[in-house]
């Protein structure tokens, strides 16, 4: 009898562990309306409605893609890092930085993952500015 109870507890432990690791994935998709043109890396994206989701057919659902719902154009964003802290919001946000009059996607944060988006580098720096760059935040829902 003790052996049976021990086996049931071990199986229950495996079930709990498997469900906890499965819930730490980025399988949820988000939508956002971005009211300005922006860049993602070297790609220019137009203002409009976007969907943020795992890449279709990827074996690792932390591979994220940003897709325009207006044009269908997609941009691979990279591999998301699972968030170590717990955010209180149930949605996420896109953080944009303005550099030289151009908005660039800089960071994405949701309750379960965070990704810093690589930005194209300035080839030539003429002056160093001491003022903070302008930023904008767009809510994901």
Phi, psi of 130 (to 5 degrees): -95, -10
User: Is residue 138 over pLDDT 70?
Assistant: yes
CA-CA-CA-CA torsion for 26, 32, 38, 40, nearest 10 degrees? 10
Model pTM score: 0.68
Task: State residue 87's pLDDT score.
Answer: 53
Q: Write out pLDDT tens, residues 56-90.
A: 765 666 788 999 999 999 999 988 888 765 555 56
User: Is residue 5 over pLDDT 80?
Assistant: no
Pairwise CA distance, residues 48 & 36, whole Å: 8
Look up residue 1 and give its DSSP letter.
-
E strands, 22-141, are 30-34, 38-40, 43-45, 48-54, 63-68, 74-79, 81-82, 93-99, 102-109, 113-116, 134-139
H-helix segments, the chain: 2-23
Q: Are 93 and 62 in contact (CB under 8 A)?
A: no
Q: Are 31 and 141 in contact (CB under 8 A)?
A: yes
């Amino acid at each position: 009898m003790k052996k049976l109870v021990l086996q049931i507890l071990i199986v229950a432990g495996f079930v709990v562990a498997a469900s906890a690791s499965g819930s730490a994935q980025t399988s949820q998709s988000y939508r956002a309306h971005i009211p300005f043109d922006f860049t993602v890396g070297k790609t220019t994206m137009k203002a409009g409605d976007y969907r943020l989701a795992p890449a279709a057919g990827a074996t690792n659902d932390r591979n994220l893609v940003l897709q325009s719902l207006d044009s269908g154009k997609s941009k691979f964003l990279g591999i998301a890092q699972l968030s170590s802290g717990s955010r209180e919001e149930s949605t996420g946000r896109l953080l944009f930085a303005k550099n030289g009059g151009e908005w660039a996607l800089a960071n994405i944060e949701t309750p379960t993952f965070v990704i810093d988006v690589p930005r194209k580098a300035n080839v030539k720096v003429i002056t160093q500015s001491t003022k903070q760059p302008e930023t904008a935040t767009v809510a994901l829902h």
